[in-house]
Each structure stands twice: as C-alpha cells, then as structure tokens.
C-alpha cells in the first residue's frame, strides 16, 4: 500500500513539474490555464492516493470534489477574462499585456 | 496496469503543454483527465472518478474549446522553439530527481493507519458541511464574475458604436 503511495507521489511530482514548466515558459494565455489545470490534476491525484493509503477514501473524495469545483470556477473566470482581453488586444500573447507597466 | 495509466496521464499532459495547436492541447487535456479518472476508479474512488470525467473532461474541455473559438488572434502566438530542446532536458532532470527521492523514501514511510465509517453522503454532509457552503459560494462568485466581465464588454462595445 505504501509503495503504491510513493509511486503515485512520484507521478504527482512529475505532473506538478510539467505544470510549473508550462506556467514559466509559455506565452499563450490559454496554455497558461492548461498548466494550471495540469497542476490541479496532480493535486487531486495526491489527495485520492493519500486517502487510499490511509483508508479514508470518503473524506479524500469530498476534498477532491471541492478542489474540482473551485478549479472549474477559476477556469471559467479566467477564460472570460481572456476573451474580454482578446476583444481589446486581438491577441492571446501575454507579452502584449503591458498597459499597466510603469 | 496502474503504471500504464499513470504513464498515459503524464504523456497526454506533456502533449497538452507542447502541442502547437490549442484545440489539440485542450483535447489532450481531456484524454489525460480520462486516464486520471480511470486511476480513480481503480483505487475505488468512484465519486471522484465520476466528477473527474463529467466535470473536468467534459465541462472544462467545452469551456476551453468555446474560448478558443471565441478568441481570434491576429497571428499565432510565437512560442520559442527552444521548448523542443529545453523540455526533454527539464523533464529528464525532474524524472531523475524524482526517482532518486522516491527510492530513498521506499520502505521508510511508516504505515498510515486510519479508518472511517459511513457512506460518502454521510461524510460529505456531516463532516464537510462548511465545504459545501463554500462550494456554493464559489460557484455563485464564478457565475457573477463571468456575467460581469461579459456585460462590461458589451456596454463598451455599444459605447464605441
């Protein structure tokens, strides 16, 4: 059971690493959201595998559902912001969002 | 089987990050969600698996595809071409560090004990009531934020006309 937990945690670290790489290097705003989504996948996997290892799967699932709901709200709001920015700049590039730059 | 599902999950996540076409990225993300849901089903987490398939693989993919269809870009965003070189190096370094750390931890983690009683519904309603209230608040906040953003865009559009 514990070895499965360690294996899962290894993959959680990989997923979070891929997401952080995406957030740090990509220039497309939609790609940045995809990075956030990949990190959220890692977090839900960590929650469920820990709940499985501790034999408290119901609590882990309740927390996972909370994470998923918050994630959906974040993604919907961020996509609405991206669409309204796109109406002004006609682009999806984060490098063009420099209006507030001092 | 478990390892195969995990490798599929990581592979489709990488494809979602590296793919140049946004639509392909969104669909790869959905496939990765399906792999994650299968992992959940294998670990007996049925409710989380159902949520993962229906909400993350379904709803979020629809949101992404709608947003990609609604946005128009005057030319694709030019991502630097170094990703094809940098990402494999980054991923290899991450994987090596990961394997080394996990090997050190192997057999050193004490057995985690815990037990719970009751069904999923009882745990959700009795223990995590505050979470449910928070979830409802978050959903309302998200809906209001989206409405506010779109209304602002419309009124500005009318003003320009």
From first to last of the 161 residues of chain B, give the pLDDT tens digit: 888 888 999 999 998 888 888 889 999 999 999 999 999 999 888 888 998 899 988 999 999 998 888 887 655 666 677 777 788 888 888 888 888 888 887 777 777 676 666 777 777 777 777 888 888 898 989 888 888 888 866 665 444 43
Task: Give A75: exposed, middle or buried? Use CB within 10 Å, 0-12, 13-18, 19+.
Answer: buried
Tokens coding B25: 């990225």
Size of interface A-B (CB pairs under 8 A): 235
CB–CB of B42/A55 below 8 Å?
A: no
User: Rounded to an integer, what distance in angstroms lies between the CA atom of residue B125 and that of residue B128?
Assistant: 6
User: Rounded to an integer, what distance in angstroms lies between the CA atom of residue B16 and that of residue B13?
Assistant: 5
Interchain CB distance below 8 Å, B51 and A68: yes
pTM (whole model) above 0.90: no
Scan for tokens 């489709």, then name that residue. Answer: B12
B100: DSSP letter = H
Interchain CB distance below 8 Å, A37 and B60: yes
Per residue in A37-85, pLDDT (tens digit) is 999 999 999 999 988 888 888 888 888 998 999 999 999 999 988 888 8
Interchain CB distance below 8 Å, B135 and A66: yes
Q: Which residue of B has its CA nearest to A2?
A: B111
The number of C-alpha atoms within 13 Å of B89 and in the hemisphere containing its C-beta is 5
Interchain CB distance below 8 Å, A72 and B70: no
CA-to-CA dists, residue B33 to A38, B16, B155, angstroms: 9, 11, 37
User: Rounded to an integer, what distance in angstroms lies between the CA atom of residue A26 and that of residue B80?
Assistant: 8
Q: Is A28 helix (H, G, I), strand (E, B) or coil?
A: strand
Measured over the CA atoms of residue A51, residue B63, residue B32 and residue B35, the dihedral's sign is: positive
The alpha helices in chain B, defined as continuous H runs, are: 2-18, 22-42, 46-51, 61-70, 83-105, 120-122, 129-160
Among B64, B82, B58, residue whose Cα is nearest residue A30: B64
Please give the ipTM for the structure prediction. 0.89
pLDDT at B160: 43
Among A5, A58, A54, residue whose Cα is nearest residue B112: A54
User: Rounded to an integer, what distance in angstroms lies between the CA atom of residue A33 and that of residue A23?
Assistant: 8
Mutate to test the interface with A, among B48, B126, B133 (most CBs of A within 10 A): B48
């Amino acid at each position: 059971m514990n070895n499965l937990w360690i294996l899962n945690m290894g993959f959680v670290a990989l997923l979070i690493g891929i997401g952080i790489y995406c957030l740090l290097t990509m220039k497309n705003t939609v790609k940045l959201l995809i990075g956030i989504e990949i990190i959220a996948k890692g977090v839900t996997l960590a929650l469920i595998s820990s709940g499985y290892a501790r034999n408290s799967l119901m609590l882990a699932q309740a927390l996972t559902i909370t994470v998923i709901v918050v994630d959906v709200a974040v993604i919907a709001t961020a996509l609405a912001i991206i669409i309204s920015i796109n109406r002004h700049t006609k682009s999806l590039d984060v490098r063009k969002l420099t209006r507030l730059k001092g | 089987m478990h390892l195969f599902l995990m490798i599929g999950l990581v592979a489709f996540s990488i494809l979602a990050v590296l793919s140049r076409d946004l639509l392909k990225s969104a669909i790869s993300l959905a496939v990765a969600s399906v792999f994650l849901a299968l992992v959940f089903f294998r670990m007996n987490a049925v409710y989380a698996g159902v949520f993962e398939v229906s909400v993350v693989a379904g709803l979020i993919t629809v949101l992404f595809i709608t947003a990609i269809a609604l946005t128009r870009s005057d030319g694709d965003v030019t991502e630097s071409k170094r990703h094809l070189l940098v990402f494999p190096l980054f991923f290899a370094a991450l994987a090596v560090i990961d394997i080394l750390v996990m090997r050190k931890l192997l057999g050193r983690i004490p057995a985690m004990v815990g037990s719970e009683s009751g069904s999923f519904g009882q745990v959700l309603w009795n223990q995590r009531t505050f979470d449910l209230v928070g979830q409802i608040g978050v959903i309302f906040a998200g809906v209001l934020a989206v409405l506010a953003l779109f209304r602002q865009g419309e009124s500005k559009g009318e003003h320009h006309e």
